[in-house]
Structure 1
Amino acid sequence: MINALRKRGIRLALATTASLVACTLGFFAWQTFYPVQAAGGWSVQVLHDSVAKAASLLPQADGSLLVSRELRNGRGSILRITAEGDRVVVIDGLSKPDGMVAVDGGWAFSQEVGGAPVIVSRNGQVLPLFQGDNVQGLYNDGGYLYAIEDRKGDGRLMRYDWRSGELDVLRSGLTETEGLTRCTDGRLLYTEKAEGKVRAFNPEGEDPVVVEGLNNPTFLLCDQRGLWVSEDSTHRARLLRIEGDGTRHTVLSYLKAPQAIVPDGKGGYLLAEGGRDRILRLTPPVEQRTAQSASANPQPGS
C-alpha cells in the first residue's frame, strides 16, 4: 500500500511538473508569436523579413532602404534593399552597427562597441569622424552631428561640428542613454533606457525629464504627430506616440525589441523590429494621411 501511494505521488508530481513546464513554454511561445496589434485606424504589415537584427533605417531618394544589422563581432553590416526588393550589402565587417542618419552626400553610422569610430559614407568612401565608446543614437541637423553613448555611468552626449571638425562633450556620466532626436520646438531629447525616461538637453543646467514611466525606451522620433518612442523590450513591447500635452497613445503593441522608426515618405512610417528580424510598415488612418499630404510635411527637427 505504501509503495503504491508513493508511486502515485511521484506520478502526480511528475505530471504537475510537466504541466507547469508546458504552461511556461506555452506562455513564452505566445509572447513570441502573438501578432503585433495596431491601434484603431492604424494598420501594420511586414514590409521585409529575414533582416537579421534590423536596427536603424534610412530611406533613400531612389526608393531603396538602408538597414543596419546589429550583429556582433564583425558580423554586422549595412544592407541596401532596393525598391524591387533586391538586397545588397554595402558595408560589412561591422560590430553592432546601430544609429544611422543622413548627412550631406551620404550617411553616418555608429557602432555600439568600445573604441569604435562614428563613420561617414560618401561616394563609396568610408571615413571615420570621431572615436566613441558604445555610440548608439545619432542626430544630424546639418551644422552638427550629435551622438550619444550607451554606457553604465560614464556615457557621453557629444556634438561634432561639420565645419571645424571639433568634438564637444555636452554631457558626461550618463547611463544607458540610447535614443536621440530633436523636436520641432528645438528641444534635443534622449532616452535613459533603464530608468524608463526621456530627458531634454538643457545647456543651462540639469536636463529635465519630459517623459517617464516607460519600458526600456530606445529610439526616438519627433514629427508633427508628436514624439514617437519604441520600447526595446523582448516581449510585449510597444510603439508609443506622445502628444505635446503629454497624452500617450499605444500605436503598436506586442512587438519584440523594436528599434528605429522613420517616416516612409508616404505619410506613414517604417519600424525595425529587431527581435523578429523584420521591417514593418505602419499606415495611419485615412483622415490623418489626407491631412498630412495637404500640409507642408515638416521634417523632424525642422
Structure 2
Amino acid sequence: MERARVLVVDDDASIRETLELHFRGAGHDVATAASAEDALSKLSSVDPMLVVTDVRMGGMDGLALLETIHARRPDVDVVVMTAFEDMRTAIGAMKAGAFDYLVKPLDLDQIDLVVERSVRDQRLRRRAAQLAADAAEPYALSQLVGRDPRMIEIYKTIGAVARTRTPVLIRGETGTGKEVIARAIHFNSADAAEPFVAVNCTSIPEALLESELFGHVKGSFTGATADRKGRFELAGRGTIFLDEIGDTSPAFQAKLLRVLQEREFHPVGGERVRRTEARVVAATHRPLERMVREERFREDLYFRLRVVEIVVPPLRERRG
C-alpha cells in the first residue's frame, strides 16, 4: 500500500500512542495532536493526506475541526472517531463531508481499510481530474443552470457530497431532474472515471429485479443459461442509481439493506459472496415518510439511504 501522511487528533494519550504505533508499523508517516487547535497549528508543517480525529474533545470539537480543515485544505480526507452510542454524531460528520467514521473501541483492521481507501481515492482523484473534466462537462457544477435559491443550495450540496461515498436519497416529482443530479454527484466525485449505472426499478419486473442488480449463476432459474453479472458488480467503484426506489417490495428492500450494511451480496442461485464498493444514490417521487409509517417501506433502509437527502423543487415553483 502507498505510504500515507496521517495526523491523529485525540485528547486521550493512550489512543494517540496506539494509533501512532500502528500507523508507523504499517509504514505510514504519522504526527499526533492532543487537541483540534494543536492539529490546526500543525496542518501546514505535517501536510497530511488524512486526518483521524476524535469527535468529543475539550475546546474545539472534531466536527468543528472537520469544517475548518475542509475550508483550508479541501484535498485532505478527514475520518472521525466516535462511540457506538453516538451514531447521530457520526452521521452528522458524514453529512458535513467526513471521508468515513470509525467506531470505538477501534478495530485496527478496519482502520487499515479506511486508510487504504483514502490513499486509493486520492490517487484516483488525481488520475480522474482530466477525465472528469472531459466526460463530465455537461454535469459540471458550473454548467448546471438556474438561479432559483433552492437549486443553488442543491448545487452546493452536490459539491459537498461528491467528495464522500455517502448514500444519497433524491426526492422530487417526476421530471424534476433527479437523474441529472445523481449524475452530477458521480461526475464531480473522485470516481468519475468509474461507471455510472442507472436502474429504473419500475421498468424491471419484480421477479427479475434481484437478478438484474445482483446477477445470477447458470441454472438458477429457467432461462439462466449462463452466469451473468449484476448491475452492482458492473458499477465497480462507481455509482449505482436506483430510480423509483419507493416502488420496490419489502423483500427486495431487505436485500438492498444488506448491501448497504455489509457491502456484500449473493447472486441469484449462487453461494459465493460478492462484494461491492459502488456508491448508492436512490430517487423516488413517493412520500417515503408516510410509507414508513404505513409499513410499506422499511424504516431501517429509509434511514440508511437518507444520510444525505436532496429534495428537488417542482419545475413550476422554480425561479430563473
Higher strand share: 1
> In which range does the TM-score fall when normalised by the shorter chain?
under 0.3
TM-score (norm 2): 0.22
TM-score (norm 1): 0.23
Structure possessing the higher radius of gyration over alpha carbons: 1
Higher helix share: 2
